[in-house]
């Protein structure tokens, strides 16, 4: 029953996440065509500041809600759930209002002085209004994850994205394409409208859902202390990491300019990599973020109940299946990078960067799953400490290398820091779960994806359907590669009949 519930919730969360990310990717492609790579780069600078405001608004509350509610369910103390959520809402709103005030009041100094571009000020002021709403959404999202009512939070996210995109596309019709300041402001207004309607929907869904739990009239002793113990260390470490991350993103265009590039070309290079290529290769990561999020309550309950064998079994099987999937995605991006770059962005530069970052997919995706398991096992502080080290190292590399080596240094920084982060996270996971990763778990899927790509290219070329940057050709190649990859995984016993039967039985 536990496995069935986990699979179904992960499946639902993955489908909605892929849908949301697909809509977001389409929107990113639309924006790149509407405002260009320089406009994407400018908005990425705005978001690099905004993300710190979001971190301050949330302040670790999403994970704290998820952990506390999961613990109460594991201890069969469901009467405490309402009170816990109320405490978390007060905590979150305090930080959300404070964060919004700081960003709104300091928008000019942040945009014109720190970022160095006054075109960002208007957008920052608009986005400041979303921060209290985001803090409330974080509490609702943590609650729905803990009680495993994923469809409700996912539907609100989907609704938010549809509203945001519709509003932005409408507003951009009235703004000249070369006016990047007002174009970015239009995107910010769309974000604000989406957040307002999303929060209203989530609150209604929460009030309807929480009626299933008894009201608690007994004082929740120690609840505030538990909340602060979980949220504040996470919040403080998140502040440090996000501040370093924001500094890192602000330093990239400046470093490129110091290497001799103009302002617009620096924004274009930064926008192509961070605003176009990375969102594309990270699109399938929705599968892994879903798994990581759903692992938190299951691993928490298993740990609270002292079931070490279950913890080890969940960790090992999740890791091996995720590894197979990430290697397959890596092979698709690497083999078809040229066609993807031309078809989606009409850009040779984007195609080149897709191929460069394709192998990094394995590391990025597996790091997401590893972090999810660490959080579920109460190792969130180790995870955040690793992330802070990663962010600090990124800042140092960008600051010293970009003015000398330009774009190659930016690529090296992303590669090196992602690998560094994953290595430390995996080491910690191995220490707390005794996870086993035999060499064949990596070598067999690699052989399978290489074979799948070559079989596909040979077969379709023989049938008179060579690879081209056209939707039909690329779709046929990707689907054929997926089919061949699955067949080879079966042939090499990476996926067994027992696995298939178990999976099918869970969906019956």
3-state helix, strand, coil in the chain (%, to 5): 85, 0, 15
Mean confidence (pLDDT) of the chain: 84
In a domain, 32, yes or no: yes
* Token digits of residue 173: 């019709």
Q: Tens of pLDDT along 120-153?
A: 999 999 999 999 999 999 999 888 888 777 777 7
Report residue 94 CA to chain centroid gap. 25
Q: How many angstroms separate the CA atoms of 233 and 428, rounded?
A: 18
Helix-then-strand count for the chain, H and E: 21, 0
User: Cβ distance 13 to 293 under 8 Å?
Assistant: yes
In a domain, 43, yes or no: yes
Domain range for 11:
2-437
pLDDT at res. 506: 43
Burial class (CB in 10 A: 0-12, 13-18, 19+), 102: middle
Q: Tens of pLDDT along 290-304?
A: 666 666 666 666 666
Q: Tens of pLDDT along 349-401?
A: 889 999 999 999 999 988 988 887 887 777 777 887 888 899 899 999 999 99
User: Cβ distance 372 to 295 under 8 Å?
Assistant: yes
pLDDT at res. 108: 92
DSSP SS3 for 221: coil
Q: How many angstroms separate the CA atoms of 98 and 92, rounded?
A: 10
Q: How many angstroms separate the CA atoms of 398 and 249, rounded?
A: 9
Q: Which residue has the higher pLDDT, 498 or 218?
A: 498
Neighbours of 264 (CB within 10 A): 15
In this prediction, residues 92-101 reach a mean pLDDT of 94
In a domain, 110, yes or no: yes
Minimum mean pLDDT range among 287-296, 327-336, 377-386, 443-452: 287-296
Q: How many angstroms separate the CA atoms of 345 and 351, rounded?
A: 8
pLDDT at res. 455: 95
pLDDT band at 480 (very low <50, low <70, confident <90, very high): very high
In this prediction, residues 206-221 reach a mean pLDDT of 68
Which residues 6+ apart lie within 8 Å of 77 measured at CB? Answer: none
Alpha-carbon distances, residue 348 vs 18, 279, 340, 352, 471 (angstroms) = 26, 17, 10, 6, 17
pLDDT band at 179 (very low <50, low <70, confident <90, very high): confident
In a domain, 486, yes or no: no
pLDDT band at 25 (very low <50, low <70, confident <90, very high): confident
Q: How many angstroms separate the CA atoms of 44 and 22, rounded?
A: 19
pLDDT band at 504 (very low <50, low <70, confident <90, very high): low
Which residues 6+ apart lie within 8 Å of 118 measured at CB? Answer: 108, 111, 112
Residue 342 pLDDT > 80, yes or no? yes
Direct distance between the N- and C-terminal alpha carbons of the chain, in angstroms, rounded to an integer: 12
Residue 230 pLDDT > 90, yes or no? no
Give the DSSP letter string of 266-306: HHHHHIIIIIIIHHHHTGGGHHHHHHHHHHHHHHHHHHHTT
In this prediction, residues 431-442 reach a mean pLDDT of 82
Neighbours of 310 (CB within 10 A): 16
Neighbours of 177 (CB within 10 A): 12
Which residues 6+ apart lie within 8 Å of 244 measured at CB? Answer: 388, 391, 392, 394, 395
Residue 93 pLDDT > 80, yes or no? yes
pLDDT band at 30 (very low <50, low <70, confident <90, very high): confident
pLDDT at res. 409: 92
pTM to 2 decimal places = 0.75
Which residues 6+ apart lie within 8 Å of 502 measured at CB? Answer: 3
Residue 262 pLDDT > 80, yes or no? no
Percentage of residues in the chain with pLDDT exceeding 70? 87
In a domain, 470, yes or no: no
Neighbours of 436 (CB within 10 A): 12
- Tokens 């962005």 found at: 345
Q: How many angstroms separate the CA atoms of 234 and 415, rounded?
A: 25
Q: Tens of pLDDT along 109-120?
A: 998 888 888 899
Q: Which residue has the higher pLDDT, 268 or 457?
A: 457
Q: Which residue has the higher pLDDT, 482 or 38?
A: 482
Residue 3 pLDDT > 60, yes or no? no
In this prediction, residues 457-467 reach a mean pLDDT of 91
Residues 62-95: b if buried by 16+ CB within 10 A, e if exposed? bbbbbbbbbbbbeeeeeebbbbbbebbbebbbeb
In a domain, 489, yes or no: no
pLDDT band at 221 (very low <50, low <70, confident <90, very high): low
Burial class (CB in 10 A: 0-12, 13-18, 19+), 432: middle
Q: Tens of pLDDT along 53-69?
A: 999 999 888 888 888 88
pLDDT at res. 137: 92
Helices 440-462 and 471-491 meet at what angle, rounded to 10? 140
In a domain, 159, yes or no: yes
In a domain, 467, yes or no: no
pLDDT band at 322 (very low <50, low <70, confident <90, very high): confident
pLDDT at res. 161: 87
User: Cβ distance 188 to 107 under 8 Å?
Assistant: no
pLDDT band at 507 (very low <50, low <70, confident <90, very high): very low
Which residues 6+ apart lie within 8 Å of 320 measured at CB? Answer: 437, 441
* Residue 79: DSSP 8-state: G
Domain total for the chain? 1
User: Cβ distance 38 to 267 under 8 Å?
Assistant: yes
């Amino acid at each position: 029953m536990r496995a069935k519930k986990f699979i179904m919730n992960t499946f639902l969360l993955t489908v909605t996440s892929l849908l949301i990310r697909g809509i977001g990717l389409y929107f990113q492609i639309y924006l790149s065509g509407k405002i260009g790579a320089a406009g994407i780069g400018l908005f990425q600078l705005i978001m690099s500041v905004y993300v710190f405001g979001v971190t301050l608004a949330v302040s670790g509350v999403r994970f704290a809600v998820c952990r506390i509610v999961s613990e109460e369910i594991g201890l069969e103390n469901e009467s405490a759930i309402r009170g816990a959520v109320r405490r978390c809402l007060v905590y979150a709103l305090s930080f959300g209002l404070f964060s919004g005030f700081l960003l709104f009041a300091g928008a000019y100094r942040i945009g014109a002085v720190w970022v160095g571009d006054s075109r960002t000020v208007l957008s920052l002021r608009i986005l400041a209004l979303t921060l209290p709403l985001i803090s409330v959404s974080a509490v609702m999202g943590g609650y729905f994850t803990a009680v495993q009512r994923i469809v409700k939070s996912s539907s609100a996210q989907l609704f938010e994205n549809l509203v945001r995109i519709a509003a932005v596309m409408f507003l951009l019709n009235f703004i000249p394409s070369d006016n990047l300041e007002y174009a970015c402001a239009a995107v910010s207004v769309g974000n604000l409208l989406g957040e307002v309607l999303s929060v209203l929907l989530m609150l209604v869904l929460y009030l309807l859902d929480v009626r299933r739990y008894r009201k608690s009239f007994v004082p929740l002793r120690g609840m505030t202390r538990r909340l602060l113990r979980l949220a504040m260390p996470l919040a403080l470490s998140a502040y440090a990491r996000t501040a370093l991350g924001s500094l890192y993103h602000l330093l990239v265009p400046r470093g490129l300019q110091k290497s001799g590039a103009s302002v617009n070309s620096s924004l274009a290079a930064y926008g192509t990599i961070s605003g176009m290529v990375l969102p594309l290769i990270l699109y399938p990561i929705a599968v892994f973020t879903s798994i990581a999020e759903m692992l938190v309550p299951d691993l928490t309950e298993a740990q609270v109940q002292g079931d070490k064998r279950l913890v080890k079994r969940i960790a090992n099987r999740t890791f091996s299946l995720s590894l197979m999937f990430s290697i397959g995605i890596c092979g698709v991006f690497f083999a078809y990078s040229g066609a993807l770059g031309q078809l989606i962005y009409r850009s040779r530069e984007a195609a080149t960067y897709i191929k460069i970052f394709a192998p990094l997919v394995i590391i990025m995706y597996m790091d997401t799953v590893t972090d999810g398991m660490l959080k579920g096992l109460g190792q969130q502080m180790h995870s955040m400490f690793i992330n802070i080290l990663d962010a600090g190292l990124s800042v140092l590399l960008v600051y010293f290398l970009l003015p000398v080596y330009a774009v190659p240094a930016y690529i090296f920084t992303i590669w090196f820091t992602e690998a560094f982060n994953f290595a430390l996270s995996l080491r910690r996971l191995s220490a707390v779960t005794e996870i086993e990763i035999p060499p064949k778990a990596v070598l067999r899927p690699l052989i399978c994806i290489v074979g799948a790509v070559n079989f596909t290219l040979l077969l379709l070329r023989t049938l008179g359907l060579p690879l081209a940057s056209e939707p039909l050709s690329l779709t046929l190649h990707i689907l054929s590669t997926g089919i061949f990859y699955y067949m080879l995984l079966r042939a090499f016993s990476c996926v067994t009949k027992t696995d298939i039967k178990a999976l099918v039985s869970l969906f019956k």
